[in-house]
């Protein structure tokens, strides 16, 4: 995977996508339910380190929710704990984390240790262990992980001159483009129609149902590269423009229906649509890593990071973020 620009611990090596919202309570509840006597709430550290998966083992040498190496586990595991770090229970992980913290300080978790909520000096021995009720109350008050920035959810499907706008009698917008121009999915959703099903009208066309509820039709195509039932992400290459059906020249007819037909240009502008993509895109899911997503598309993670300005820190990609390639 190459060297990263910062020498962080396991957190940098994974680029784990962080789930936001109620998941924090679920993970934290796992700690409370174990009855672990601990001076710190480790649930948010686990959320940061491993998306809150206390049983994670991706094969990268870092194990379980708090991402112990085997050598760290050997040094700080509690009495009676399994010899292997990848077999550690939540209670044993928390106990080992407290011992590691006492020996190494917050630097043992260079990024995620900040979620402990204290300034980096080991608490003195008089620190009182909170009761289960107090811990539960604190968890309910804890802020959720930050959401992804307001990035590309929509984009212009082609880069072309408007040859006919939206008006009574014309319930869409026409873009003058050459036959064979790549058509990009204007948002994420599922394909409901794809093919030469309207010879007297749209000709070969694609209809998709947006994740946000809109219905989108793209007509007069020369080719379709998707099939009914396919899920596509914003920016995916889904076909090529053409001059099929009832058409007086090469163009794309774009129709967006949101209860009623709406002006596609006005809609896309109000949605903050991005420029037509040069490639495809992926929406981040829980457990995704920047390295793995980049590798699956044949790119270096450094190049993908550079191409996505919304990713301020490659160590933390957020669920729901859209990564362009």
pLDDT given at position 287:
80
Percent of the chain, pLDDT > 90? 34
Note the pLDDT tens digit of each residue in 61-95.
788 988 888 888 998 999 999 999 899 998 899 99
pLDDT given at position 309:
72
pLDDT given at position 249:
93
Domain range list for the chain: 21-141, 161-270
Give the helix ranges, DSSP H, for the chain.
10-14, 23-34, 43-50, 70-76, 90-104, 132-141, 264-270, 290-296, 301-307
Distance, in Å, from the CA atom of 22 to the CA atom of 203, rounded to the nearest integer, reads 46
pLDDT given at position 238:
95
pLDDT at 205 over 60: yes
Q: Which residue has the higher pLDDT, 225 or 105?
A: 225
- Indicate the CATH number for domain 21-141: 1.10.530.10
Note the pLDDT tens digit of each residue in 171-194.
999 999 999 999 999 999 999 999
Whether this model's pTM surpasses 0.75: no
Superfamily the domain 161-270 falls into: Glucose Permease (Domain IIA) (2.70.70.10)
Q: Which residue has the tokens 């930050």?
A: 146
Note the pLDDT tens digit of each residue in 227-274.
999 999 888 899 999 999 999 999 999 999 998 999 999 999 888 888
pLDDT given at position 288:
82
Q: What's the pLDDT band for 142 if we cut at 50, 70, 90?
A: very low
Please give the sequence-ordered ranges of beta strands (E in DSSP) within the chain, or none if there are none.
Answer: 17-18, 161-164, 173-176, 182-184, 189-198, 203-210, 215-224, 231-232, 237-241, 252-258, 260-262, 281-283, 317-318, 322-324
């Amino acid at each position: 995977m190459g060297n990263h620009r910062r020498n962080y611990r396991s957190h940098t090596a994974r680029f784990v996508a962080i789930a936001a919202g109620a998941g924090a309570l679920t993970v934290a509840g796992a700690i409370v339910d174990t009855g672990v006597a601990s001076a710190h709430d480790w649930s948010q550290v686990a959320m940061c380190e491993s998306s809150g998966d206390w049983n994670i083992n991706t094969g990268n040498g870092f194990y379980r929710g708090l991402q112990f190496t085997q050598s760290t586990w050997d040094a700080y595991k509690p009495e009676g704990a399994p010899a292997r770090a990848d077999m550690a229970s939540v209670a044993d992980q928390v106990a080992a984390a407290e011992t590691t913290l006492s020996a190494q300080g917050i630097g043992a978790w260079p990024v995620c240790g900040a979620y402990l909520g204290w300034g980096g000096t080991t608490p003195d021995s008089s620190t009182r262990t909170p009761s289960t009720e107090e811990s539960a109350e604190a968890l309910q008050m804890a802020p959720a992980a930050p959401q992804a920035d307001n990035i590309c959810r929509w984009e212009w499907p082609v880069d072309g001159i408007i040859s006919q706008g939206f008006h009574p009698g014309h319930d869409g917008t026409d873009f003058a483009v050459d036959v064979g121009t790549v058509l990009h999915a204007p948002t994420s959703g599922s394909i409901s129609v794809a093919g030469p099903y309207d010879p007297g009208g749209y000709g070969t066309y694609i209809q998709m149902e947006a994740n946000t509820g809109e219905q989108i039709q793209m007509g007069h195509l020369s080719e379709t590269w998707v099939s009914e039932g396919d899920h596509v992400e914003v920016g995916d290459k889904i076909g090529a423009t053409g001059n099929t059906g009832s058409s007086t020249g090469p163009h794309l007819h774009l129709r967006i229906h949101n209860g009623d037909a709406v002006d596609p240009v006005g809609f896309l502008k109000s949605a903050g649509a991005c420029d037509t993509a040069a490639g495809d895109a992926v929406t981040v899911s829980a457990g995704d890593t920047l390295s793995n997503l980049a590798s699956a598309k044949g790119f270096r993670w450094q190049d993908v990071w550079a191409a996505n300005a919304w990713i301020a820190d490659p160590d933390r990609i957020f669920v729901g973020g859209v990564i362009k390639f």
